[in-house]
Amino acid sequence: MTSRCLAYDSGAGARRRRTRTRSPTVSATTPVWDPHQYLRHSGHRARAFVDLLARVPALPAERPRIADLGCGPGNVTRLLAERWPAAHITGLDSSERMLAEARSLAGPTPGGGRLDFRHADARTWTPTEPYDLIISNATLQWVPGHLDRFAAWTDALVPGGVFAFQVPGNFGAPSHRLMRELAGSARWRDRLGGVLRHEDAVHGPAVYLEALAGLGCEADVWETTYQQVLQGDDAVLDWVKGTGLRPVLTELGGDADAFVEEYRVLLREAYPAGAHGTVFPFRRVFGVARIEAKASSKRPL
């Protein structure tokens, strides 16, 4: 595992700069999610969230209000209740299939808090109440122009509140490059043209640092490449079926099997299985931004 970190301290006397929130853009293809496929690699997927959570500082309230934006099946949302057992935590997701899985975890927490889940689309969600923490794990890559949403989300934080996120930074990896090349081939381009975003899906650490600092946040931004070892046959294909391949599977519907078989051959060459499994390097970009209590000029929502 390799890491690179950038940080910016706004200073207690900094005046928060605000930017106009642009209208969110919604892409043409909304993936249909399969929570059971997604959870097949839940240990590897949760590791990045655990690393993100470790860098989130103490929150200003003893009973904080927390939003998990893009909570999926709730498998990592419940980790928030372990860190802040008295918190009121709301998991937000646009997939009813994911929410159906997550709602099995809803209810009071042992520390006197509460865990609940409701429908919301990260592409358009604007908070209507103040939060101590807004956190998002592997979701913002599905939000076109998500930098333009940062102002609305950080504006919803109480003084001393935190916005934290993690996004996959592997769009240049063979797994994604081969997917795009196949989607753009003569056989598939008419049906899959424009379905797979990549150039603007996520940004590098320096871009996120600049965006957060521009909002007056004390920001900690870094990247890590995990040397994941996956088990099972066609392990990388099994991984992307839960995430990156979803737009293709959704768009093709019943014709997806033919695409998957072509893609399977390419992935086997790019990621050969070894004696201990299939090594699947995975880069992720993280950001933790805190609103200084003295610097904030927020009004209650």
Please name the helix (run of DSSP H) or strand (run of DSSP E) that holds residue 191, with its range, or none.
Answer: helix 189-192
pLDDT band (50, 70, 90) for residue 297:
very low
Summarize the confidence of residues 53-58 as an average pLDDT.
98
Handedness of CA 67, 68, 72, 77 (dihedral sign): negative
Distance (Å, whole) CA 209 – CA 223: 12
CATH architecture label of 2-14+26-291: 3-Layer(aba) Sandwich (3.40)
User: Tell me, what DSSP letter sits at residue 27?
Assistant: -
Where do we find the tokens 């081969």?
Answer: 178
Handedness of CA 188, 193, 198, 201 (dihedral sign): negative
Nearest Cα neighbor of 61 from 130, 137, 163 is: 130
pLDDT band (50, 70, 90) for residue 298:
very low
Please name the helix (run of DSSP H) or strand (run of DSSP E) that holds residue 166, with its range, or none.
Answer: strand 157-168
Domain extent listing, the chain: 2-14+26-291
pLDDT band (50, 70, 90) for residue 29:
low
pLDDT digits (tens, 9 = 90+) for 153-207: 999 999 999 999 999 999 999 999 999 999 999 999 999 988 998 778 999 999 9
Cα separation values, 243 from 3, 5, 205, Å? 23, 26, 22
Residues 111/137, Cβ–Cβ less than 8 Å: no
Q: Residue type for 38, please?
A: Y
Position 149 scores a pLDDT of 98
Position 200 scores a pLDDT of 85
Position 104 scores a pLDDT of 97
Which residues lie across from 229 on neighbouring strands?
A: 279
Residues 157/163, Cβ–Cβ less than 8 Å: yes
Neighbours of 20 (CB within 10 A): 6
pLDDT digits (tens, 9 = 90+) for 89-144: 999 999 999 999 999 999 999 899 999 999 999 999 999 999 999 999 999 999 99
Position 15 scores a pLDDT of 40
Percent of the chain with pLDDT over 70: 88
Distance (Å, whole) CA 147 – CA 80: 24
Which residues lie across from 225 on neighbouring strands?
A: 2, 283
Cα separation values, 25 from 143, 147, 156, Å? 8, 12, 20
Does the pLDDT of residue 245 top 70, yes or no? Answer: yes
Is pTM beyond 0.85? Reply is yes
Nearest Cα neighbor of 192 from 266, 259, 264, 95 is: 259
Does the pLDDT of residue 26 top 60, yes or no? Answer: no
Which position has the higher pLDDT, 8 or 288? 288
Does the pLDDT of residue 7 top 80, yes or no? Answer: no
Nearest Cα neighbor of 196 from 184, 185, 207 is: 184
Position 197 scores a pLDDT of 81
